[in-house]
Amino acid sequence: MGHELGGQAPGWGLSAWNRPLQDGSTRDDKSSWVAVHAGDHWPMDWHIVPGKQEGTVRILTTHHEAGAQPASWGLSAWHGQTDSRRNDLSSRVAVHADERWQMDWVLASAKPTGTDLDY
């Protein structure tokens, strides 16, 4: 959708790469940083499955050969980890291989303010 105030162009896709020593995309051997990326090459398909808690989902990677990203790594955030904490009010997002670090998420429909989009 983009975000005018934040300068984010619309149409970018959620991406994860696990290519060792590749531009800081690998957090460690079991997790990769997540980013948004322009174009069709790096954004990946994601698998959404039921979460562990009622009314939630898990957002899992699919295999992405170009980015060497394995499938089934779950979207995660760790505010308690120094390398994941951006500042006191925000954390970076990653995907993790170990299920105990994968988070449950709530997906909610929303209509962006100031648009005529109909979901």
pLDDT digits (tens, 9 = 90+) for 55-106: 999 999 999 988 889 999 999 998 888 888 888 889 889 999 999 999 999 9
What per-residue confidence (pLDDT) applies to 80? 82
Q: What is the pLDDT of residue 116?
A: 57
- Within-domain flag for 76: yes
Global pTM value: 0.82
What is the domain count for the chain? 1
Asked whether residue 56 is domain-assigned, the answer is yes
89 within a domain of the structure (yes/no):
yes
Q: Is residue 7 part of a domain?
A: no
Burial 68-101 (b: 16+ CB within 10 A, else e): ebbeebbbbbbeeeeebeeeeeeebbbbbbeeeb
Does 60 fall in a domain? yes
118, part of any domain: no
Compute the mean pLDDT over every residue in the chain, rounded to the nearest whole number: 87
Whether 106 is in a domain gets the answer: no
The pLDDT value recorded for residue 48 is 97
Residue 79 counted as domain residue: yes
pLDDT band at 112 (very low <50, low <70, confident <90, very high): low
Question: What is the span of the domain harbouring residue 76?
Answer: 13-101
